[in-house]
Amino acid sequence: MSVIDCHVYIEGSPIPSTNQTAKTLAELLAGRGIDQAIVISTRAARLDPLSGNTILKNMLEQTNGLYGCLATHVRNQESSINAVRDLLGHRRFLGVLLTGDDPEEPLHPLSADEILNACRRFQKPIYLHAPNRLCVEVGLELAKRYHMHRFVLLGMGGPDWRTAIMAAQQASNIFLEISGMLDLGRIPAAIEAVGSHRLLFGSGLPDLDPAAIIGLLEDSEISPSNRRRILSENAEKLFQLELGA
């Protein structure tokens, strides 16, 4: 069964050589049974979106199986919009992360407007950190306002995963990325509420080992077909991926 991890970070790990280069990251993922991954530059998310994403693009071009999620920052609008305009059209960038100073804190919806407007013509999924209820609520507000975009809620609300499921029920352009709480009940509950086609496998590596999320899926009471959709088929469709490309 193929596996696509749609939530991985490069650089920024406190453990030397864990995910500092595309080569070491690809080797680590392969050791966990991950066939392809969508990678976010920690440098771009925390420091400078334009330079960080440019470095990421160069890394991706040298490594098969890795794709990029272009990181933007609401406090660094000019660099973010330049990165969107210059890089988002590149075939290896499959989505956009919209973030602020603290992923645990909700974005102010108005702070996202310029960046989301710049992303319109590319029509690539928008990632939002969603580790808690307040962040999920902002994600729902943005999904309703920008119905032309598809939003991926990273972490599925953490301990507030029921709130994330309810948000996905209210907005059909919300997808739930299943890293976060290792709670066996949340995956079956999400499938029952919104269907397995709206769930995406992601780990948040290096903060969480992909093996832990794969184990969660294996231990959850879901059908093999639903497990297959979550691990790869939904990502292939959402990001227009071809396995092995």
- Separation of alpha carbons 17 and 99, rounded Å: 25
Q: Going residue by residue through the chain, which has 245 residues, state the pLDDT in tens, using 9 for 90 and above.
A: 799 999 999 985 545 555 578 989 999 999 999 999 999 999 999 999 999 999 999 999 989 999 999 999 999 999 999 999 999 999 999 999 999 999 999 999 899 999 999 999 999 999 999 999 999 999 999 999 999 999 999 999 999 999 999 999 999 999 999 998 999 999 999 999 999 999 999 999 998 999 999 999 999 999 999 999 999 999 999 999 865 44
Backbone angles phi, psi at 239, to 5 degrees: -100, 5
Q: Which two tokens stand for residue 106?
A: 């909700």
Backbone dihedral angles phi then psi of residue 139, each to the nearest 5 degrees: -60, -40
Report whether 119 contacts 88 (CB < 8 A): yes
* DSSP per position, 61-104: TTSTTEEEEEEEETT-HHHHHHHHHHHTTSTTEEEEEEE-S-TT
Task: List, as one string, the DSSP characters of 192-239.
Answer: HHH-GGGEE----BTSS-HHHHHHHHHHSS--HHHHHIIIIIHHHHHT
